[in-house]
Each structure stands twice: as structure tokens, then as C-alpha cells.
Amino acid sequence: MTVPNSTRRGPRGFGVSGWVPLAASAVLLAGCASTVTGHPVAAGPGTGTRYVTAQLSALLPDPTQFPAGYEAVVLPPEAAAQAAGDLTGAGRGSTVQPDGCVPPAQQFGPNQTAVAVGTDNETRATMTVELTRTGQPLSALRDQLQRCHQVHVSRAGATTIVTTELQAPPAIDADDTLALRRTVVPQVSAAGLTQSMQTLTGQVADVRITVTYMTFGDTKPDAAALDELFTAAVRKVEKG
């Protein structure tokens, strides 16, 4: 199955789709959006749907909330779309096998997907916070990941093997949570090209909070820093 492509191109670099987080000194202009304060509320009688009224761009952790040593920036929508593809291992325009393992579709824009990235410029490790609007429970993603332990992703003549392992979910006050370990390995392997990720995900109403520690190679993830940032991100969404 093929992941829809984009008609635009963003920053190029080391990621699966060519994206690499930029240092805080880089100038990145995010789309302007007004901020609406609010909290998770019922969508209406009988709908059973809850939503967070605040703009997603306003719910990202502040740069000062990132762990020490990680220079943080907010990505503009197109760069956010590329980053989202890198974090799943299947960028837009990719073909994913087996069928049924394409990452969930998402929309991009200041109130559909918001991404902030902190970069350790010495180790090349990144900490990424992604907030997305979704009409699906987190259990749907969990079920898919259980079926799709290993997938093959092809794009522009290159193939990578994406392996995902579910882990014990983080204990935090959210509607649901999960944790995973993911590797993205080129079929034609080369030093420094294996992408390793540790991810914590939570859902509060219609907002999915995903925080990922990513490195290139076998560097052990900084679990304490990841937990710290995930906790800050979930709490900010809960407060609206």
C-alpha cells in the first residue's frame, strides 16, 4: 500500500524522508494561528466524543521545558509532515508491505499536527514532541502495531525494514498510553544510517501526544529525559 505523496519539499537531511531536525539558531517560521484557551469537553449530547478546544500549536511544550542540552524549535507545517513520516519510518510517497500496515492518515496544519524538536548537537540525538488531532482511540494504533511488527518500506528505489516492538505503557494520567521501540534499517546497510527510536504516546480526548527520542546507531536512549518531556507534554495538553 502506498502512502500519499506531497507536492512540496521541505528541509533535506538525515531522516528517512530526508528531514533532519535543525538547531535552535536556524530560522523557522511557523504558520500564525490564534490561541484559544480551553479544556477537554464533550462535543455534544449523545456523541460520545471529547475534544480539546485549544490550538495544538499553543499546547506544545515551551523550549525551556525540553531537557537540558536540547535546543528546541517548532517546525512549520511542511517540515512537520516530513518529520512525522520519519518518526513512523514511512514517509509520504512510500509503499508499505504488508497491506494494512500503513501508518494512520493525518492532516497537517497548526491545529491538526504540531511538532517541536530539540536537538543535542553533539550526539545528533533528537527529542521530538508531536501533537495530532485524531478521531481514533489509541487502542486502534496498538492493534495495528501488534499486527505489523516488521514492515518493508520502499521509496525512490530504496527499501528499509521497520521493526516495532511494543513495551510496557507509561503510567500517567491520560485516556490511554503506549510505549514502543522502533528501528529503521536500510536494506543495503551502511554505518550511521540505522535509525533508532524510543517513543511514548498518550491520548487526551482527541489529541494524541507522541514524544520520541531518536538517534542514528545503537546509542542507548535517555529514558529519564524522555519521561520528563512526555510528562510535561501530557500535562500541558490536559490543562488546555
Q: Which domains does the chain have, with CATH numbers?
A: 50-239 (3.40.1000.70)
Averaged pLDDT, groups of 10, the chain, 240 residues long = 46 37 33 33 44 94 94 93 91 90 87 95 93 95 96 91 96 96 86 87 97 88 95 94
pLDDT of residue 19: 40
pLDDT of residue 213: 97
Distances (CA, A) of 26 to 14, 72, 92, 132, 227: 16, 10, 25, 24, 26
pLDDT of residue 216: 87
Cβ contact 221:189 at 8 Å: no
Tell whether pTM > 0.85: no
Classify the C-alpha dihedral 32-82-50-179 as positive or negative: negative
Q: Which residues pair with 185 in a beta bridge?
A: 161
